[in-house]
Amino acid sequence: MATIALIWELGSDYGHIGRFLPIAQALRERGHRPVMILRDISRADEMLGPYGLEYLQAPLWLPPVSGLPPALNFTETLFLFGFLQPAGLLSIVRAWRKLFELLKPDMLVFDHAPTALLASRGLGLPRLITGNSFAVPRQATPMPLYQWWDPKAGAPSRERDCEEKLVRNANHALAALGAPLLERVADLYAAEATLITGAPELDVYGPRDPDNYVGAINSIEHGVEPRWPAGKTRKVFAYLKPHYAHIEVLITALGKLDASVLIFAPGLAKQTVERLQTANLAFSSAPLKMSRVREECDLAVCHAGGTVDVMLAAGKPLFVLPLQMEQIMTSRRFEQTGCGLWHWHQQPPKDIDKMLRKVFSAPEFGERAQAYRERNQGFTQATAMARFMATCDRLLAGVA
């Protein structure tokens, strides 16, 4: 039996745990001991407790970093999580090393975990890097720009200076540990295996070598059965964040559709729910079984996270409302598929109702979503899991 650490360090919400859940279950079925090391364990028992899976709290950089301009690329994002301060970075890296020493894993799996990756250098353990395309940045020097669509986005001297600073700070920690140094930021993502859990069309950095992709892995069987309001033929599902600036505008627009609408907005105030409630709106307080939701709905609304993969795999169109840069990048790629529309929160909120109705009523969005499904029918969760497990078997057997 091998002990396999599944590590998540950056990001938020259900997506990373949801990706690890089916992976951990499959590893355990193979006789291994999966242990998740998670950024946020506040929902861990809710999601993992029923399955008896182990989890630990990840060492994290907590002090807020202020005074920096909006990040141009992943290098600059890392400055927000300890890579700007050599002494602090060394502390976090030492904590990761001590955790590995106590756990004694036989293999490490990283999903958006750059500091853990840094700490793992030189340990001689097989490493598998996975996650969506944003969590697995393209190997380039300097790291690729986030706003690839904007010809004015780059700043070559700034990108070069940040590249050099991060390498210097990271090497300070590595030298203290006697670990192999970095020559460039991209070296941080050099591992024995890399698997992007998505399809090339939605890669936020643009398509790469086809062998990099296995297709999305999500916990689509976890959750309660959907209960749709009665009385309408068509169904719309919405996964919303309560802190979204225009959430009341959006929910009001959803309530005006000639459809049964089911909303999952964890943490939304009860008073808000009561004020916006209509006969065709239902709010779920628990995560929903997405395999059923995507089968039954006609349209999905979300913030451009993992729900996009889940719905497009079922040929369902979407209306997406990104909240941060990763989601904007996903929305840009999603827009190119023609499977729906997206609304950025800096656009006028009055456009939400009009855009939502357009996606809901125009059949071409559904047709393009079905075409996307056909183009990517090889990227099923079953095939993704099979390849993921085969890669784990190979690494555990010591085959590079």
Radius of gyration of the chain, Cα coordinates, nearest whole angstrom: 21
Question: Would you give the DSSP letter of residue 79?
Answer: G
For the purposes of burial, counting CB atoms within 10 Å of the CB of 95, is it exposed (0-12), middle (13-18) or buried (19 or more)?
middle
Q: What is the pLDDT of residues 13-28, one digit of tens each?
A: 778 999 999 999 999 9
Fold of 235-375: Rossmann fold (3.40.50)
User: pTM of the entire structure?
Assistant: 0.95
Cα first-last separation, the chain: 20
Query: What is d(CA 281, CA 279) in angstroms, rounded to the nearest whole number?
Result: 6
Strand, coil or helix: 246: coil
Q: What is the pLDDT of residues 112-137, one digit of tens each?
A: 999 999 999 999 999 999 999 999 99
Closest CA to 305 of 284, 294, 320: 320
Query: What is d(CA 88, CA 219) in angstroms, rounded to the nearest whole number?
Result: 35
Confidence of residue 200 (pLDDT cuts 50, 70, 90): very high
Instruction: State both tokens at 260.
Output: 């049964």
Residue 55 to residues 46, 51, 205: CA-CA distances in angstroms?
Answer: 12, 12, 31
Confidence of residue 399 (pLDDT cuts 50, 70, 90): low
Confidence of residue 43 (pLDDT cuts 50, 70, 90): confident
How many CB atoms lie under 10 A from the CB of residue 224?
Answer: 13
| 3-216+380-396 and 235-375, same CATH topology | yes
Amino acid (1-letter code) at residue 4: I
With contact defined as beta carbons under 8 Å apart, do 337 and 375 qualify? no
Instruction: State both tokens at 113.
Output: 């975990």
Strand, coil or helix: 294: helix
User: Does residue 142 have a cis bond before it (omega within 30 degrees)?
Assistant: yes
Mean pLDDT of 265-270: 94
pLDDT score of 168: 98
Query: What is d(CA 325, CA 106) in angstroms, rounded to the nearest whole number?
Result: 35
How many CB atoms lie under 10 A from the CB of residue 152?
Answer: 6
Query: What is d(CA 14, CA 99) in angstroms, rounded to the nearest whole number?
Result: 24
Q: What is the pLDDT of residues 139-194, one digit of tens each?
A: 999 999 999 999 999 999 999 999 999 999 999 999 999 999 999 999 999 999 99
Mean pLDDT score of the chain: 96
Confidence of residue 371 (pLDDT cuts 50, 70, 90): very high
Q: Which helix (H) or strand (E) holds 6?
A: strand 3-8
pLDDT score of 346: 84
Domain segments of the chain as ranges: 3-216+380-396, 235-375
Q: Alpha helices, DSSP H only, in 225-324?
A: 247-255, 270-276, 290-296, 307-312
Closest CA to 120 of 195, 183, 170, 62: 170
With contact defined as beta carbons under 8 Å apart, do 163 and 143 qualify? yes
Residue 260 pLDDT exceeds 80: yes
Cα dihedral across residues 48, 327, 333, 158: positive or negative:
negative
Instruction: State both tokens at 235.
Output: 């169904």
Residue 400 pLDDT exceeds 70: no
Q: What is the pLDDT of residues 316-350, one digit of tens each?
A: 999 999 999 999 999 999 999 999 999 998 899 99
Return the residue matching tokens 């309660």.
Answer: 224
Mean pLDDT of 306-317: 97
With contact defined as beta carbons under 8 Å apart, do 22 and 43 qualify? no
Residue 202 pLDDT exceeds 60: yes
Fold of 3-216+380-396: Rossmann fold (3.40.50)
Query: What is d(CA 51, CA 104) in angstroms, rounded to the nearest whole number?
Result: 23
Residue 12 to residues 18, 134, 150, 305: CA-CA distances in angstroms?
Answer: 11, 13, 27, 10
Compute φ and ψ for 304, nearest 5 degrees: 75, 35
